[in-house]
Amino acid sequence: MEYINLKNSDLTVSRFCMGGCPMGGYGWGEVHEEDFIDAIHTALDLGVNFFDTADTYGLGQSEKTLSKGLGAERQKVIIQTKFGVRVQKGKGTLIDNSPAYLQKALENSLRRLNTDYIDIYVVHYWDQKTPPADFVNELEKQKHAGKIRYYGLSNARPEVLALCRPFIGQFVTCQHEFSLCCRQWEAEIRQTVDIMDVTPLTWGSLGQGILSGKYDENTTFGENDRRSRQIYTNFHGEKLKDNLRIVKELREVAANHEKSCAATAVRFIMDLFPMGVPIVGIKNAKQLRDIVSAQDWHLALREMTQLNRISHAGASTSKEMPWQKEI
Ligand SMILES: NC(=O)c1ccc[n+]([C@@H]2O[C@H](COP(=O)([O-])OP(=O)(O)OC[C@H]3O[C@@H](n4cnc5c(N)ncnc54)[C@H](OP(=O)(O)O)[C@@H]3O)[C@@H](O)[C@H]2O)c1
């Protein structure tokens, strides 16, 4: 297992972060709690110590399942959870980074995670109205109170990155969607590294599963699978065709190393951002083991070039906000 020190912190994490969105149990087809628990135990056995979740994933269910799976091992791992996507019963969803909501959301996450502290507390999306100074000030208060150890950003656009410049050196991570089939936030990722001096994390590292190579043009998803919705562009129309072209070349490269397409897609991210950590959503121990097989080897320069070329030809460039996708 490869490990990395997160910037501006004393945290050492595995270069794979287990993504907890499927653990919410909502919108990922048929899933079973015992499979997630088994995957968490397997992760711990294999040296994975970094877990990503959010208060919105299954409206808190993901945090509860993570806590159940970790049990007494909680102290040994780094938990990253997020706040800011506020679901109001019958009133829809809004983004709220106000200090008052942060306090409430943090107490709820601590309770669900059955822990006294959160290692990295993440601003899920910026609400475009709370001045970053206000939430940073509140995050610092919670840090001093011992309820969080560090804090991070997520889906940060250039305007919020600019406003966060006075706080360079305070955030430890920033996560953006990035994969061979989604490069629309690449410039922002590089800004977070070069200017904000944080460790970059990627979500959607498998393009929600398309880069595993197991889907084709005839694939259909059930209603309880978010990927049936058009907003999950990776599985629809021209974008799906582009993605299948990427998968074709990915399969060739993967065969050179006797690895799966999924592991190779993850390795591509690790080699492109040697200072970064991919987050991958996991449904069971088999997927977990496969993703861990992306560790401790490298793609050759010519393979990086080949994948880079096909990826740039097919990756999306639109900049719509994806937050409606993931609750
Ligand atoms: N900050 C944010 O705003 C944000 C947004 C979204 C997600 N995230 C985080 O990032 C994580 C991952 O991103 P994502 O949810 O967009 O999905 P992703 O990691 O691109 O894809 C995950 C899906 O790929 C499939 N898969 C995983 N490993 C596999 C393997 N080894 N072989 C074959 N298939 C495999 C699984 O679905 P199937 O088996 O059903 O195909 C899994 O649910 C989330 O869980 C969450 O923690 C953060």
206 lines ligand 1 (CB under 6 A): yes
| 233 CA to centre of ligand 1 in angstroms | 15
- What is the predicted pLDDT for the residue at 319? 46
Q: Among candidates 149, 204, 130, which has minimal Cα distance to 11?
A: 149
Q: In Å, how far from its chain's centre is CA 315? A: 18
Confidence of residue 316 (pLDDT cuts 50, 70, 90): low
Ligand 1 binding pocket includes 207 (Cβ within 6 Å):
yes
Is residue 178 in some structural domain?
A: yes
pTM, two decimals, is 0.96
Quick one: pLDDT at residue 84?
97
Pairing mode of beta strands 92-95, 85-88: antiparallel
What spacing in Å lies between the alpha carbon of 208 and ligand 1's midpoint?
Answer: 5
Task: Please state the rounded mean pLDDT for residues 76-94.
Answer: 92
Q: How confident is the model at residue 327 (pLDDT cuts 50, 70, 90)?
A: very low
- Asked if residue 252 is part of any domain, the answer here is no
Q: Domain of 8?
A: 3-212+275-296
- Look at residue 312 in the predicted model and tell me its pLDDT: 85
Alpha-carbon dihedral 55, 94, 21, 169, rounded to 10 degrees: -70
Reported confidence tier of residue 119, pLDDT bands at 50, 70, 90 = very high
What's the number of domains the chain is made of?
A: 1
What is the chain's mean pLDDT, rounded? 94
Ligand 1 pocket, residue 200 CB under 6 Å: no
Q: Does any domain span residue 119?
A: yes
207 Cα distance to chain centroid:
11
Residue 315 has pLDDT above 80, yes or no: no
pLDDT 10s digits, 19-64? 999 999 999 999 999 999 999 999 999 999 999 999 999 999 999 9
The pLDDT score that the predictor gives to residue 89 is 79
CATH of the domain at 112: 3.20.20.100
Max Cα–Cα distance, the chain, nearest Å: 53
235-260 per-position pLDDT tens digit: 999 999 999 999 999 999 999 999 99
| Residue 288 covered by a domain | yes
Residue 217 lies in a domain: no
The residue whose C-alpha atom lies closest to atom 37 belonging to ligand 1 is 209
Decide if 248 is inside a domain.
no
Report the sign of the C-alpha dihedral through residues 125, 128, 134, 136, in that order. Answer: positive
Tell whether 38 is covered by a domain: yes
Question: With contact defined as beta carbons under 8 Å apart, do 98 and 125 qualify?
Answer: no
Per the domain annotation, does 325 fall within a domain? no
Residues 6+ apart with CB under 8 A from 90: none
